[in-house]
Structure 1
Amino acid sequence: MDDEEIAKSAALEERHWWYAERRAMVRRTAAAWPAGRALDVGCGGGGNTAVLRDLGWSVTGLEHSPAGAAAAASRGLDVVRGDATRLPFADASLDLVMSTDVWEHIEDDRLVAGEAARVLRPGGRLLVAVPCSMKLWSGHDLALGHYRRYERDGLARLVTGVGLEIDDLWSWNVLLRPVVRARRRGKHESESEMEQVNPVLNAGLRTAVALERVLPLRRLPGVSLVVAAHRP
């Protein structure tokens, strides 16, 4: 993702339904774990990093892009510039490594998964969200610099292949998958979908995603996949 797209994402982050519900998902998941030392790999504008901070974690955001690092730092967050495939942290030094919509941007995702495993302490946790299913591949993925979208089995193999044990792997943004698929069908030109949304529509879309908290949809195909794992 280039600096222009990152700056646009940072500007949308506070109110856009997708970012807001992703933060809510991070908050619900991480709140169940004892706070410790965390790293948000590919933190972008720092919205999810701030969620961990507010939950009591001692959290650092790692961001490769100058624009993203500047946006996160402007929120008072601890940010370092760095490469997800060469994390500037010692072995077994962290209690949580989080990456939300980052692994798909890295050509060799085995490297970033292996680095996450390396820096986790025994018992340390991994929380990763990625886009789901090549059936949804479109110009949106091209615009954001994606190398792939993930299938459930492939993501599980990637995580277990670096020595981590999966605690849960679930779908997110399930109810809106038919809408997304219809919108993206046949669109191969590079064009990001991240844009301002009418406030009424924005509230409706956020409500649709929020409903998934109480409906049994986690095993159905969604727009994203989320995996929680730990280092034995």
Structure 2
Amino acid sequence: MDTIEIQRIVEVEDDNWWYRERRAIVAKEVRRSAADRAGGRERAVDIGAAGGGNTRVLKDHGWRAVAIDSSETAVDLCLSQGIDAYHGDACFLPLASGEQDLALALNVLEHVEDDRAAAAEIARVLRPGGEVLVAVPCDMTLWSAHDVALGRVRRYSRQALTDLLEEAGLAVERLWSWNVLLRPLVRLRRHRTAHCEDMAHLHPYMNEALHLVTALERLLPVKSWPGVTLFARAHRL
């Protein structure tokens, strides 16, 4: 992810509907991890942290969190917010083996040419039983200029993501879709435009309307339906 894109994320992520709802999912899963751990909240890593929004969620819930990103700009932005951050590639994390209790890899794997190496690296830094929360864009039928502009290599099917994690020694506990209700709109818009949508320029009313739709989705039994994003929760064997 380039410097301009990271700066755009930092500018919009506190208010933009997509980032707000993704942080809500992260917070819910982080609380679940804390409740499941008899020893309490301990070490966590946010891989591909960008501006550190999700790292802040970890810290707010009591985790000793560190941010890792391949961009020096992202690392500097995290450090400026008081977040421990290090420069590192998803395939070569600057962390010791088996020390992390929780890892986030949100919208990271789709950017990595060798996603198997990245998945194996996630497994390496987790302790046995340690958990990872992964998010990736799903379904190559949604491939568009948006994916190209963001530097993605692929989108994932449910089976492809499951196979990737299991081959790395991670047991998938749950797999679910996100942005199910908005999928028809996303598909229509992305296949009708030759450029990447600029989320920073959303009208406030539209931003709030999209937020309400995704908030409503939390209450509906649609997580097994096709969506725009796939989430997976897994643990190291």
Give the TM-score category using the shorter length.
Answer: over 0.9
The number of residues matched between the two structures is 231
Q: Is the 8 A contact 1:21 1:209 kept in 2?
A: yes
Q: CA deviation at 1:193?
A: 3.8
Aligned partner of 2:124 in structure 1 is 118
Alignment check: 8 A CA contact 1:96 1:120 kept? yes
**% identical equivalent positions:** 48
Alignment match, 1:53: 59
Q: Distance in 1 between matches of 2:143 and 2:31?
A: 32
Aligned residue number for residue 203 of structure 2: 198
Counterpart CA distance in 1 for 2:110 and 2:161 is 11
Deviations 1:9-60 (A, max 9, x none): 1111110000000000100111111221000000000000100100111000
2:155 equivalent to 1:156: no
Residue 109 (str. 1) matches residue 124 (str. 2): no
- 1:17-166 counterparts in 2 under 5 A? 17-34=17-34, 35-166=41-172
Hey, what's the Cα distance between the residues in 1 that align with 2:190 and 2:196?
10
Partner of 2:213: 208
2:6 counterpart SS class: helix
Give TM-score, length-normalised by structure 2: 0.94
Task: State how far apart, in whole Å, the 2-side matches of 1:151 and 1:117 are.
Answer: 21
Would the aligned equivalents of 1:42 and 1:62 in 2 still touch at CA under 8 Å?
Answer: yes
Query: Matched residues in 2 for 1:122 and 1:220: separation?
Result: 31
Q: Is the 8 A contact 1:37 1:94 kept in 2?
A: yes
Amino acid in the other structure paired with 1:132: C
- Look up the equivalent residue of 1:216 and give its one-letter code: P
The CA distance in 2 between the partners of 1:185 and 1:134, in whole Å, is 12
Match of 1:230 in 2: 235
Gaps of 5+ in 2: 35-40
In 2, the alpha carbon distance for the partners of 1:211 and 1:155 equals 26
Report the counterpart of residue 184 of structure 1 in structure 2: 190
Q: Give ranges in structure 1 of 5+ residues lacking alignment.
A: none
Instruction: Please tell me whether the aligned partners of residues 141 and 190 of structure 1 are also in contact (alpha carbons under 8 angstroms).
Output: no
Displacement, 1:196? 2.5
TM-score computed with the length of structure 1 as normaliser: 0.96
Deviation at 1:213, TM superposition (A): 1.3
TM superposition outliers: structure 1 runs of 4+ over 4 Å: none
2: CA distance between counterparts of 1:87 and 1:147?
20
The answer (yes or no) to whether the contact 1:131–1:225 under 8 Å persists in 2 is yes
Q: How far apart are residue 74 of structure 1 and its match? A: 2.0
Partner of 1:8: 8
Aligned-residue Cα RMSD (Å) equals 1.1
For the residue of structure 2 that corresponds to 1:89, the secondary structure is coil
| Separation in structure 2 between the aligned mates of residue 164 and residue 98 of structure 1, nearest angstrom | 14
Q: CA deviation at 1:93?
A: 0.8
Q: Secondary structure at the match of 1:225?
A: strand
For residues 45 and 108 of structure 2, the distance between their equivalents in structure 1, rounded to whole angstroms, comes to 13
* Contact 1:141–1:192 (CA under 8 A) maintained in structure 2: no
